[in-house]
Chain A
Amino acid sequence: GAVVSQHPSRVICKSGTSVKIECRSLDFQATTMFWYRQFPKQSLMLMATSNEGSKATYEQGVEKDKFLINHASLTLSTLTVTSAHPEDSSFYICSATDGPFFGSGTRLTVV
């Protein structure tokens, strides 16, 4: 099946710094990718839809200036958490179109 690679799997950063998370489709081209966030014991919540070559579409309540999404190629989407704060600590997961395939997730801890 299709493979979605997400990197890094874990990251710890200081409050106020920025963190970039990469999501790659390894064996197919993805014109659309999706970014989710999952807090402990909670559901995956869609944050934004990443569209290759155009601006991302953000869900209500998600700050686009804080969560920067870039989808510059058909195989790579990046999510940058800018000026991270402890409340941004969460599990971030990407998925790609062409099927319900998800990355392995990134555990972000902001200290």
Chain B
Amino acid sequence: SQKIEQNSEALNIQEGKTATLTCNYTNYSPAYLQWYRQDPGRGPVFLLLIRENEKEKRKERLKVTFDTTLKQSLFHITASQPADSATYLCALGGGGNKLTFGTGTQLKVEL
């Protein structure tokens, strides 16, 4: 069955450092992969989309890589700030715009 794995434990880093979050998947060939930010009690907020034929995507302090051979995506936040503290979700997409989400990784950026 399809499986998406994200770091289940919270990731704590110091302000100014680069946070790297991992999304691994099995039994899936997604056409694209998305990363979302979710704050407590709120819906997900879209951050970045990367397609299967793209290796890397950047947006301001965010960078996403997508390795379809390893079946893995890495999500980087450079120069992290306390305001970046949230849960980050990866989601895989295919036909029909249906998304399958990972469980998310909680990021805490400390002063």
Contact = CB atoms under 8 A, between A and B. Distances in A.
B43 A6 contact: yes
B101 A100 contact: no
Contacts of A101: 46
B45 interface: yes
B45 to A, nearest CB: 7
Given A44-B89, A100-B34, A93 B101 contact: no
A50 interface: no
Contact of A104 (B43, B96, B100): B43
A99 B89 contact: no
B97 A32 contact: yes
Say which size band chain B's interface belongs to. 20 to 34
B98 interface: yes
Given A43-B103, A43-B104, A102 B98 contact: no
Interface of B: 4, 34, 36, 41-46, 49, 89, 91, 96-104
14 contacts: A32-B97, A34-B97, A41-B103, A43-B89, A43-B102, A43-B103, A44-B99, A46-B100, A49-B98, A95-B43, A95-B99, A102-B46, A105-B43, A107-B41
Given A49-B96, A93-B43, 7 more contacts: A1-B46, A45-B101, A49-B98, A95-B99, A100-B36, A102-B44, A105-B42
